[in-house]
């Protein structure tokens, strides 16, 4: 029997050139570039180009790539009517999973997995995901749908479609940084899901749809919503320590802390912490940020020795709230960013494919006699 590892922890399942993580030192790189440099200097569109092509684009390449994304913002004819048919009470992550999959209906060759075709399909999903999300949100609130503006970048366009007005440049930039930080992160659960589906030579729509289903779970992408719920439960900054201590005494999980990989400060959280403070000050949410700091201080005192630090979800919750995103759009916004990374892994998997088929450790009984139904 092969060595058993519950949850596949520590098992290497694929080669990648996309992102590198050193959990002990708190390092994350995309194609060798530290995440902090990309967050500070790059854009989401440029970061996706980097992951898909293994290099930063020239000015001309970036202009062409950006123009292509913008040209794909609009939804197909009749698609908005399909969104209107969805119950307003539907959870946005279920909506995203279903409607991203539905884009395959409008593709003449949905099952084509040649690299050029996969790139085109992935770019189409990447461009349309914000439009789908904004349209559903406005329809469920009884507001008119805002058409995409192809003169705007992806982040600014999304916030415009969502709120009906152009966002402040700082808000658009903040969302763009969040998307950069969320684009890729090694062989996490949802990325693994996308690669497993791709390994069967299934289509890219199926791969991305499966990945969205994985990301929905509160132990993965849904954790940022849990952080916001926790912050809302805490009455004041002064109440934060007692709240967290009570949870620790009951051995409750503190959302936004700890990571399977990182035993040091998550480098994405480092950048988001700075961003969250600036946005909180600008939007009058400094009390929210101060509660986050109070929680972190307790957790560092009690848990840092065990390698438990803030992860990407902890300060992304405050950041998304300050940008003005409704709570149940936090994780769907994560989807928008991660489509770029999932697609990069789909392309990488197709380049050197082998079907994923791990063994299972059977722990059940043997040689059990069948009992006829009249003797049970």
Residue given tokens 């994923």 in the structure block: 356
Task: Tokens for 272, please give them.
Answer: 């988001």
Is residue 77's pLDDT more than 60?
yes
For residue range 151-207, list pLDDT tens digits in order. 999 999 999 999 999 999 999 999 999 999 999 999 999 999 999 999 999 999 999
**Can you tell me the distance from the alpha carbon of 140 to that of 38, in angstroms, rounded to the nearest whole number?**
35
The pLDDT of residue 348 is above 70: yes
How many Cα atoms occupy the beta-carbon half-sphere of 232 within 13 Å?
9
pLDDT for the residue numbered 258: 86
Q: Quick one: pLDDT at residue 177?
A: 95
Q: Which superfamily is assigned to 12-219+328-351 in CATH? A: Citrate Synthase, domain 1 (1.10.580.10)
Report whether pLDDT(95) > 80: yes
Distant-in-sequence, close-in-space partners of 130: CB < 8 Å, separation ≥ 6: 73, 148, 154, 157, 158, 161, 336
Judge whether residue 321 has pLDDT over 80. Answer: yes
pLDDT of residue 335: 95
**Per-residue pLDDT reduced to its tens digit, 42-71:** 999 999 999 999 999 999 999 999 999 999
The active-site residue, picked from 94, 107, 120, 220, is: 220
How many Cβ atoms sit within 10 Å of the Cβ of residue 155? Answer: 27
User: At which residue do the structure tokens 């609009």 appear?
Assistant: 74
Cα 3 from Cα 116, distance rounded (Å): 38
Q: 262-291 pLDDT, tens per residue? A: 888 989 999 899 999 999 999 999 999 999
pTM: 0.93
Marked catalytic residue, from 259, 271, 321, 345: 259
Q: Give the whole-angstrom CA distance, residue 181 versus residue 270.
A: 11
CB count in 10 Å sphere of residue 247: 16
Does the annotation mark 313 as catalytic?
yes
182 is known as an active-site residue: no
220 catalytically annotated: yes
Residue 220 has pLDDT above 90, yes or no: no
User: What tokens does 128 get?
Assistant: 């349309």
Query: CB count, 10 Å around CB of 236?
Result: 11
Q: Are 216 and 97 spatial neighbours (Cβ–Cβ below 8 Å)?
A: yes
Mean pLDDT computed over every residue of the chain? 94
Choose, from 137, 313, 321, 345, the residue flagged as catalytic: 313
Q: In what order do the strands lie in the sheet with 19-22?
A: 19-22, 27-30, 33-34
Give span(s): CATH 1.10.230.10, the chain: 223-323
End-to-end C-alpha distance for the chain, whole angstroms: 35
Return the percentage of the chain with pLDDT > 90, whole number. Answer: 85
For residue 257, pLDDT over 60 is answered with: yes
CATH class of 223-323: mainly alpha
Residues of the chain with CATH 1.10.580.10: 12-219+328-351
Structure confidence by residue, pLDDT tens digits, 124-163: 999 999 999 999 999 999 999 999 999 999 999 999 999 9
The closest alpha carbon to 126, from 45, 11, 191, 185, belongs to 45
């Amino acid at each position: 029997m092969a060595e058993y590892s519950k949850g596949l922890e520590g098992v290497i399942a694929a080669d990648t050139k996309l992102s590198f993580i050193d959990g002990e030192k708190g390092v994350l790189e995309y194609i060798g570039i530290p995440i902090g440099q990309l967050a500070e200097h790059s854009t989401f569109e440029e970061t996706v180009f980097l992951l898909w092509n293994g290099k930063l684009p020239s000015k001309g390449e970036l202009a062409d790539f950006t123009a292509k994304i913008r040209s794909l913002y609009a939804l197909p004819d009749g698609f908005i009517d399909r969104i209107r048919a969805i119950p307003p009470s539907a959870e946005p992550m279920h909506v995203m999973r279903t409607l991203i999959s539905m884009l395959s209906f409008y593709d003449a060759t949905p099952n084509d997995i040649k690299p050029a075709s996969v790139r085109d399909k992935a770019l189409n999903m990447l461009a349309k995901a914000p439009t789908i999300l904004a349209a559903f949100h406005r329809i469920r609130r009884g507001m008119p749908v805002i058409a995409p503006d192809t003169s705007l970048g992806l982040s600014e366009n999304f916030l415009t479609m969502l709120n009906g007005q152009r966002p402040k440049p700082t808000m658009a930039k903040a969302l763009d940084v969040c998307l950069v930080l969320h684009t890729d992160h090694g062989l996490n659960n949802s990325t693994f899901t996308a690669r497993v589906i791709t390994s069967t030579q299934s289509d890219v729509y199926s791969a991305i749809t499966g990945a969205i289903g994985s990301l929905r779970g509160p132990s993965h992408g849904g954790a940022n919503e849990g952080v916001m719920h926790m912050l809302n439960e805490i009455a004041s900054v002064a109440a934060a320590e007692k709240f967290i201590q009570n949870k620790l005494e009951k051995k409750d999980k503190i959302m936004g802390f700890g990571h399977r990989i990182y035993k040091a400060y998550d480098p994405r959280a480092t950048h988001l912490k700075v961003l969250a403070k600036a946005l909180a000050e600008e939007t009058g949410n400094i009390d929210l940020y101060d509660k986050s700091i109070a929680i972190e201080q307790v957790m560092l005192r009690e848990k840092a020795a065990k390698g438990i630090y803030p992860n990407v979800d902890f300060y992304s919750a405050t950041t998304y709230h300050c940008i003005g995103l409704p709570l149940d759009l936090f994780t769907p916004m994560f989807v928008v960013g991660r489509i770029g990374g999932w697609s990069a892994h789909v392309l990488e998997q197709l380049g050197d494919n082998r079907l994923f088929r791990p063994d299972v450790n059977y722990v059940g009984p043997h040689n059990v006699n069948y009992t006829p139904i009249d003797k049970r």
